């Protein structure tokens, strides 16, 4: 609903503020005195059960962090008494996350909590970032990422003294890794701007894209696109990009295409090249 207020599509998608007010008020009803948020008993969206269940302390942290992110983004859309309740709920939720910070073992939950603490202007943000850095992983290419489990790099094949990176092969844990790393990217961009570590995080995220142009699932793709867009805006990539990309194929000599990328429309446009044979087919 927060996205519905963007000027680019306000005449295509519109959500009445009364609907936002009612939705926010409903969400606030699930916050406990401790500051955490709990799931409704009527929740039936099973694909997210593993991340949003209320069975472990880390899952409760992740749930609370997700809700705090949403409340921070929607706070400007509500007014009056509801606005005051939102502010109080955010403060209470931030205190809960701060109290649990040293006990968060799950990297995925920690990354979400760090971004929520940033949005809530927590005084413990630097401590949270230090915890996040302590849980960093580095793949065989030297690229950093955050994941509860190790994520292998895409396969590489050497042919005619040249290295060819193979297609991304799905492994369990990819989705959580993409989402956690995307939240980490947002946090480090907000804290330090564009830096060598954010550059390398972006490179790692690019290795996780699937053949459909997205990432693993809808949830992690949304966060990854948000983080990559923020990186592109800060690095002014769209304004300075000027590339000539030549595409050839060792298995199909007829493929020899030169692509000219000069402006924003070229970057966002999908370039499709037909190939008769590709590696691994």
Of residues 228, 247, 237, the one with CA closest to residue 267: 237
Tokens 């039936």, located at residue: 44
> Considering the entire predicted model, what is its pTM?
0.81
One DSSP character per residue, 207-249 reads TT--TTSS-SSHHHHHHHHHHHHHHHHHHTHHHH--EEEEEE-
Q: Residue-wise pLDDT tens for the chain (281 aa)?
A: 666 666 666 677 778 888 889 999 999 999 999 999 988 776 655 555 555 455 677 888 999 999 999 999 888 888 899 999 999 999 999 999 999 999 999 999 999 999 999 999 999 999 999 999 999 999 988 999 999 999 988 888 777 777 777 777 788 889 999 999 999 999 999 999 999 999 999 999 998 988 777 888 888 999 999 999 899 888 876 666 677 888 887 777 788 888 887 766 566 677 777 777 665 44
State in Å, rounded, how far the first CA of the chain is from the last one.
Answer: 43
Tokens 């446009």, located at residue: 269
Contact predicate 167/211, CB 8 Å: yes
Provide the token pair at 229. 């867009």
Contact predicate 205/230, CB 8 Å: no
Cβ partners under 8 Å of residue 194, min gap 6: 231, 234, 235
Helices 196-206 and 174-192, packing angle to 10 deg: 160
């Amino acid at each position: 609903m927060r996205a519905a207020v963007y000027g680019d599509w306000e005449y295509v998608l519109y959500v009445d503020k009364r609907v936002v007010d009612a939705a926010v008020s409903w969400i606030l009803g699930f916050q406990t005195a401790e500051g955490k948020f709990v799931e409704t008993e009527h929740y039936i969206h099973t694909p997210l059960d593993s991340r949003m269940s209320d069975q472990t302390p880390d899952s409760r942290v992740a749930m609370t962090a997700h809700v705090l992110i949403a409340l921070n983004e929607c706070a400007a859309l509500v007014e009056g008494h509801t606005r005051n309740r939102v502010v109080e709920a955010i403060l209470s939720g931030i205190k809960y996350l701060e109290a649990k910070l040293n006990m968060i073992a799950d990297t995925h939950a920690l990354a979400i909590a760090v971004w929520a603490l940033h949005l809530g202007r927590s005084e413990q943000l630097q401590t949270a970032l230090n915890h996040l850095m302590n849980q960093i992983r580095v793949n065989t290419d030297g690229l950093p990422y955050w994941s509860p489990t190790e994520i292998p790099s895409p396969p590489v094949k050497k042919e005619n003294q040249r290295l060819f990176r193979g297609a991304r092969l799905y492994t369990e844990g990819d989705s959580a890794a993409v989402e956690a790393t995307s939240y980490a990217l947002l946090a480090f961009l907000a804290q330090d701007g564009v830096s060598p570590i954010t550059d390398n995080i972006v490179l790692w995220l690019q290795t996780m894209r699937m053949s459909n142009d997205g990432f693993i699932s809808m949830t992690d793709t949304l966060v990854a696109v948000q983080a990559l867009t923020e990186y592109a805006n800060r690095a002014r990539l769209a304004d300075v990009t000027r590339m000539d990309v030549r595409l050839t194929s060792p298995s199909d000599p007829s493929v020899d295409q030169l692509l000219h990328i000069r402006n924003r429309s070229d970057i966002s446009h999908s370039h499709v090249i037909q190939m008769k044979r590709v590696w691994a087919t």
